[in-house]
């Protein structure tokens, strides 16, 4: 009887450990709070859990695992299995995807942003560079064109931008610098404080971020059509963790990306529809820049910055011209498909 009990206990423990071995739990590092920018990550976690009957789960942490500028480093050492980061936070670590942050690329909507981002992510140069960080590019976090909020009198002419202290990262920062502004690359979570303390006069964000980080609450005006570009924020997974997944779980993860992006686009579309109401409620003036001023901004910023970026990449052995051409051809093909 004693032997029977002992054998039963051993079997029970074996079954328990087998069940534990099957289960996969990933930690996901993002920042701020749940918002439109993170909805595809939340949806992905929901989908993989549902499709695997809870055998593959993701714990999404908002700042509890890493600082936003250090997420790629955390992925590289396996501190967590998935993370979101923005290329402009450390352009030297993710040079290839910064092609997507060049000013005035002409991306018209979020669907086009998804198309160009995923085309670049699939390029061998992007794959190889991310492998240096033990990272695999999984999906983008598509954002509309950035626009400014500011206090005081609206800045409607390029001459008004001279000396303007602006929170803008990556290619956007370079674009504003080209017209005489003074960009600073404080993180999104630091933007409100920078605006409140007077470190910056204006902040360049997509709509969701102006809401999430409260910069809209300090604003007197918002530029409706400056549209100088956007930032690119990939979601990456640790390669070792990805390869350790069972074939079934890996397939479910990969196949859930498109569904997560569709959810993200629908959710963000609802926010954009409400934007004018938000401006009215907060008493923020909508400012439109004239076509003449916009043309001057483009001619001053777009061509020189693009040429300099391509030359810089080529000098480092990265196919800058090829990557830029890929963005342009993807835009053209996407529009033909629509």
CA 28, CA 80: separation in Å to the nearest integer? Answer: 6
pLDDT tens-digit readout, 291-304: 999 999 999 999 99
Determine the straight-line distance between the first and last CA of the chain, rounded to whole angstroms. 73
Task: Calculate the CA 338 to chain-centre distance.
Answer: 24
The predicted model gives 19-31 an average pLDDT of 84
Largest CA distance in the chain: 92
* Percentage, residues of the chain above pLDDT 90: 88
Structural domains of the chain sorted by starting position, each given as residue range(s) with its CATH number in brackets:
25-142+232-271 (3.40.190.170), 147-230+277-337 (3.40.190.170)
pTM (2 d.p.): 0.86
How many Cβ atoms sit within 10 Å of the Cβ of residue 329? 12
CB 83 within 8 Å of CB 66: yes
Higher pLDDT, residue 43 or 10: 43
> Tokens representing 253?
């993860």
pLDDT tens-digit readout, 142-183: 999 999 999 999 999 999 999 999 999 888 999 999 999 999
What does the pLDDT read at residue 338?
Answer: 62
Residue 305, pLDDT > 90, answer yes
* Percentage, residues of the chain above pLDDT 70: 93
Residue 116, pLDDT > 70, answer yes
What does the pLDDT read at residue 185?
Answer: 85
Residue 256, pLDDT > 50, answer yes
How many Cβ atoms sit within 10 Å of the Cβ of residue 45? 20
Going by pLDDT thresholds of 50, 70 and 90, the confidence category of residue 12 is: very low
Task: Calculate the CA 71 to chain-centre distance.
Answer: 12
- Helical H segments across the chain, by residue range: 2-22, 39-51, 71-76, 110-121, 124-131, 158-161, 170-178, 191-197, 207-212, 239-244, 247-282, 291-315, 320-337
CA 115, CA 34: separation in Å to the nearest integer? Answer: 24
CA 239, CA 243: separation in Å to the nearest integer? Answer: 6
Residue 15, pLDDT > 90, answer no
> Tokens representing 92?
């030297």
What does the pLDDT read at residue 14?
Answer: 44
CA 83, CA 71: separation in Å to the nearest integer? Answer: 6
What does the pLDDT read at residue 170?
Answer: 86
> Tokens representing 232?
């690119």
CA 187, CA 148: separation in Å to the nearest integer? Answer: 15
Residue 281, pLDDT > 70, answer yes
Find the angle CA(122)-CA(70)-CA(102) to the nearest 5 degrees: 45
317 Ramachandran zone, left/alpha/beta (phi>0; psi -120 to 50): left
Higher pLDDT, residue 235 or 11: 235
pLDDT tens-digit readout, 170-224: 889 999 999 999 999 888 899 999 999 999 999 999 999 999 999 999 999 999 9
Residue 1, pLDDT > 90, answer no
Contacts of 132 (CB under 8 A, 6+ apart): none
What does the pLDDT read at residue 329?
Answer: 98
């Amino acid at each position: 009887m004693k032997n029977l009990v002992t054998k039963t206990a051993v079997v029970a423990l074996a079954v328990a450990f087998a069940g534990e071995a099957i289960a996969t739990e990933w930690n996901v590092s993002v920042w701020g709070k749940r918002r439109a920018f993170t909805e595809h990550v939340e949806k992905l976690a929901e989908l993989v859990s549902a499709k695997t009957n809870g055998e593959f789960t993701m714990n999404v942490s908002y700042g509890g695992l890493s600082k936003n500028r250090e997420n790629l480093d955390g992925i590289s050492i396996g501190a967590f299995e998935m993370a979101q980061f923005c290329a402009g936070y450390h352009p030297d670590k993710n040079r290839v995807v910064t092609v997507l942050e060049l000013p005035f690329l002409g991306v018209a909507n979020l669907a086009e942003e998804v198309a160009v981002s995923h085309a670049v992510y699939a390029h061998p140069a992007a794959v190889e560079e991310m492998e240096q960080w033990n990272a695999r590019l999984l999906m983008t976090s598509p954002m509309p064109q950035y626009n400014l909020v500011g206090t005081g009198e609206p800045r409607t002419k390029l001459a008004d931008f001279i000396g303007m202290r602006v929170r803008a990262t990556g290619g956007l920062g370079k674009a504003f610098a080209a017209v005489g502004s003074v960009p600073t690359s404080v993180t999104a979570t630091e933007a409100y404080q920078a605006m409140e303390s007077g470190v910056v006069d204006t902040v360049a964000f997509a709509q969701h971020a102006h809401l999430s980080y409260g910069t809209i609450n300090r604003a007197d005006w918002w530029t409706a059509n400056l549209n100088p570009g956007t930032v690119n924020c990939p979601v990456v997974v640790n390669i070792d963790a990805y390869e350790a997944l069972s074939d079934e779980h890996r397939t479910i993860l990969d196949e859930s990306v498109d569904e997560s992006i569709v959810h993200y686009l629908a959710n963000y579309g609802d926010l954009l529809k409400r934007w004018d109401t938000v401006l009215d409620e907060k008493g923020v003036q909508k400012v439109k820049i004239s076509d003449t001023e916009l043309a001057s901004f483009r001619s001053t910023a777009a061509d020189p910055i693009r040429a300099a970026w391509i030359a810089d990449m080529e000098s480092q052995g990265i196919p800058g011209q090829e990557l830029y051409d890929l963005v342009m051809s993807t835009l053209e093909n996407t529009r033909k498909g629509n």
